[in-house]
A and B are shown apart, each in its own frame.
Chain A
Amino acid sequence: MKNKFTLFQAKKLLEEGEITSLELVEDCLSAIEKYNEDINAFVSLNKIVREKAKNSPKPTPERPLSGIPIAVKDNFLTKGIRTTASSKVLDDYIPQYSATVVTRLENAGAIVIGKTNMDAWAHGSSTETSDYGPTKNPWNLKYLPGGSSGGSAAAVASDMAIAAIGSETAGSVRGPAAWCGIVGLKPTYGRVSRYGVIAMGSSLDCPGPMTKDVQDAAILLEVLAGKDPYDATTSPKAGEAYSSLIAQDIKGLKIGIAQDYLLPTMAKEVIESVKTAAAVFERLGAKVEYVKTLSPAYAIGVYTVIQRSEVSSNLSRYDGVRYGNGRAFFAEEAKRRIILGTFSLSSGYQDKYYKKAQRVRTLFIEDFEKIFKNFDLLIGPTLPGAALKLGATKGEAMFGEMADVLAEPSSIAGLPGISVPCGFVGGLPIGLDIIGPQFSEARLLKAAFAYQGSTDWHTKRPKL
């Protein structure tokens, strides 16, 4: 089944004429037909995907993704293809323009196979708050895939797409990648354009690749990274040729184990997996030692307040006047966040909540700067445990923030992180998070690639 190939493998076979794009697409579509009803990874499918595949020539250096079917999270606007952010407010919204990420993918020849399910408005870490039903974890349909990019993670884990795009505000790419046993890269804030991504936390949102292995993530990042004149927060720093930088050795790389990320409440397998990973890095020539960081627990309040404040502002355009349905279509979680965010910004409370949160945010930025003077990378678990059962989020208003505690410090500091599969707990995957300073994606990918070369967690696939 050709849908099981990685992006790198599929690309090579297409280049050599061994397979055609249509064959690739057909195999993905039959996987979707077989499994999507149970897994519910997709909200919409691209109606003209076969035509696109038929008209796709072989990949070239100018169009490196030609003919490759990629799933895109449903908060990325795709011109002419329904885009909902998994909310009934946008149930029948068909965008008049595409996100820069989508344009870059299509200019590189990629085919958008469909739009994936997510927590509505990206408000969550489980994909359980989607207005179109939860996505299930392909490893065990009774379990959650993580969120908010759960649909993208599940689509890749079950080979319904060759690769996928997600977005992370704090944990929404790395989290589901860990729970679904795939690779998830959250780039530096400002590395990849947010233009055309339905805004959640404007100072936090990062589009990122979700792939079967590290090499695929590097290939996608290379296409996506770079300054966008339509996004004033993108960095003027040019992107790098990441796919040609990953094979460099990591001898002498200084890696810190974030000891404050190893929580006593965690499953011992999680802590063990990090120690094992540290040993792998040492064998590869890196210098590994424990390092103290500002406790991630402090990041929860900071993240919650800043994110909800920005959310309450970003959702005010959905008034039903120019597009979409009216505000009555907002579900509970969205309403909760709007109310809390409005409160944090309101007169008399802004100083105490929003401004204070921003100041503590600076403390995290400074803490990381201090650490990265002596270390090249940090490692820790991506999440405190493996996937939780469906229904775990019911009645837990702070579920997301608690689950994402380990991703929040790097997210609020705008730093890049990559989650790679590193083991299993009770038959469910867990991930190792590798964090670096701003714009250190090449270093991140290099370390992740080296780790992948010494392990085989990333090759495991769920039995569907």
Chain B
Amino acid sequence: MKNYRPVIGLEVHVELSTSSKMFCSCPAEHFSKKPNTQTCPVCLGLPGALPVPNEKAIESTILFGLAMGCRINRESKFDRKHYFYPDLPKGYQISQYDQPLCYEGKFGSVGIRRIHIEEDTGKLVHTTVSGKRVTLVDFNRSGVPLVELVTEPDFDNVEAVVAFLRQVQRIVRYLGISTADMEKGSMRLEANISVSKDSSLPSYKVELKNINSFRFLKKALLTELSRQERILTRGGKVDQETRGWNEAKGETFSQRSKEEAQDYRYFPEPDIPPMVIGEKEIERLKGILPELPEVKRKRYEEEFNLPDNYIEVLVGDTQRAGYFEEAVRQGRKAGISERQIAGFVVNKSLDRQFPEPAGLVKKILELGKEEYSSSTEIENAVGRTLKENSKAADDFKAGKSEVIGFLIGQTQKVLKGRGKPEEIRIILLERLNKN
């Protein structure tokens, strides 16, 4: 990408892991469930059925908005978005149009245009029944709460997009509101991609859909950016359209023209009274926001002397991080270092074996006792060290007493760190002074 600057905006959909669907009490967890076994008049769009909003879903959306630095709309509402598709039972989707729950946020350098809540559609399954090619509809997913986050077109490189998405995934998991699993479809992504020669916003954008994993995200974005650059360099025009990502072929393909925006005839949902979100409610939600991943990461970097990859693993899971901190608190009293604890948690996953941090601390103390080298092992190690480092030994005997530190270190190496430093020193000195 020499002459052109990428201009990328994102639309991220996250399925909430509430117990009930957005507008009815059917279970929201639908992955791999037998088709059409989790439905009711409301999510099937039967005559006379009415939507009743899921409070927890609204709360989760506001929490997400707060975590992304958004402003919360004190007056919000639902709107009907009309279009026909067999997986949309009412012929309209209940969504939010001009008064989303969250708006005008900023996450790092990325502007968050809006975050709103809507209901998911059913799923179409293309198959063959009795030799005939048919399309079946499964309504288990119909009505599941879906949060939509739209960013400003603030991304100018693919790495930033990937990093942002990983952060969104982490935050959503931190808040405990979604599993945000791209492979399972609980996190979906659409990217609006264009390229620009200068600082102005391009006149077109291509919507890229069907990116189902982090693995192919980078490749898909780069492929599309190259495609656009090639067209423009040749003097052509890039069509405003929707394109899909074909993993097998490693290329993007045209899906439908986005030349004319479809008229969704949005109007306020008359079956659901508008929501008023008071100051008290917002303060309460701010209060239950957990420490967010980036903040935790910075704190760990300052507070704990740990390698970066250890921090990465701990920060990645809010429960493990909490466990780790409690174990460190208890370990301090017993003289166990945070590095040791981190090692046991990250490398050996001992936090799984010991649900209580106290148990882990106890185990580490026990292992410590077993794992110290015996005196014989130290004698042998010292012997080997002095043999391999005769010059250093001579230096010491010649009066360079500070060399002892080096020799202790070398001995410790042979012992793979299991030697008690004091014991090594004593035995070394014995040997050196003997000769």
**Chain A residues engaging chain B, CB cutoff 8 angstroms:** 75-77, 83, 85, 90, 93, 95-97, 99, 194-199, 202-203, 229-233, 309-310, 313, 316-319, 321-323, 342, 345-347, 350, 354
Contact = CB atoms under 8 A, between A and B. Distances in A.
A98 B137 CA distance: 25
Given A342-B265, A347-B263, A97 B41 contact: yes
A96 B46 contact: yes
Nearest to A83: B47
B41 A96 contact: yes
Interface of B: 41, 44-53, 80, 82, 84, 86, 89-92, 137, 263, 265, 267, 270-273
B267 A90 contact: no
A203 B41 contact: no
Contact of A322 (B44, B48, B263, B265): B44
A322 B41 CA distance: 11
A67 B4 CA distance: 80
A392 B175 CA distance: 63
A313 B270 CA distance: 11
28 contacts: A75-B48, A77-B46, A85-B47, A96-B46, A97-B46, A99-B48, A194-B50, A198-B47, A202-B271, A203-B270, A230-B50, A232-B52, A232-B272, A233-B270, A233-B271, A233-B273, A313-B265, A313-B267, A316-B82, A316-B92, A317-B45, A318-B47, A321-B86, A321-B137, A323-B46, A342-B265, A346-B265, A350-B267
B269 to A, nearest CB: 8
Contact of A230 (B52, B80, B84, B86): B52
A185 B259 CA distance: 52
B312 to A, nearest CB: 44
Contact of A229 (B41, B52, B86): B52
Interface centre among A197, A199, A313, A354, by most B CB within 10 Å? A313
B263 to A, nearest CB: 4
B47 A95 contact: yes
Contact of B263 (A97, A232, A318, A346): A346
Given A194-B48, A202-B271, A350-B267, 19 more contacts: A76-B48, A77-B48, A93-B47, A95-B46, A97-B41, A99-B48, A195-B48, A195-B50, A230-B52, A232-B50, A232-B273, A233-B271, A313-B82, A313-B267, A316-B82, A317-B45, A319-B86, A322-B46, A347-B265
Contacts of B89: 317, 321-322
Contacts of B91: 313, 316-317, 319
Nearest to A196: B48
A346 B261 CA distance: 13
A258 to B, nearest CB: 27
B62 to A, nearest CB: 19
B93 to A, nearest CB: 11
Nearest to A84: B47
Contacts of A95: 46-48
Interface centre among B80, B90, B270, by most A CB within 10 Å? B270
A407 B42 CA distance: 31
Contacts of A347: 263, 265
Given A83-B47, A96-B46, A317-B89, A202 B270 contact: yes
Interface centre among A93, A199, A309, by most B CB within 10 Å? A199
A78 to B, nearest CB: 11
Contacts of B82: 313, 316, 345
A202 B84 CA distance: 20
A70 B53 CA distance: 33
A323 B137 CA distance: 13
B84 A316 contact: yes
Contact of B270 (A196, A310, A322): A310
A90 B48 CA distance: 13
Contacts of B45: 317, 322
A141 B273 CA distance: 44
Given A203-B270, A316-B82, A197 B48 contact: yes
Interface centre among B86, B92, B271, by most A CB within 10 Å? B271
A207 to B, nearest CB: 11
B295 to A, nearest CB: 37
A106 B45 CA distance: 24
A287 B356 CA distance: 78
Nearest to A93: B47
A212 B92 CA distance: 41
Contact of A231 (B41, B50, B86): B50
Interface centre among B41, B50, B84, by most A CB within 10 Å? B50
Nearest to B42: A230
Smallest CB-CB A-B distances: 6 pairs: A316-B91, A202-B270, A345-B265, A203-B270, A196-B48, A347-B263
Contacts of A313: 80, 82, 91-92, 265, 267
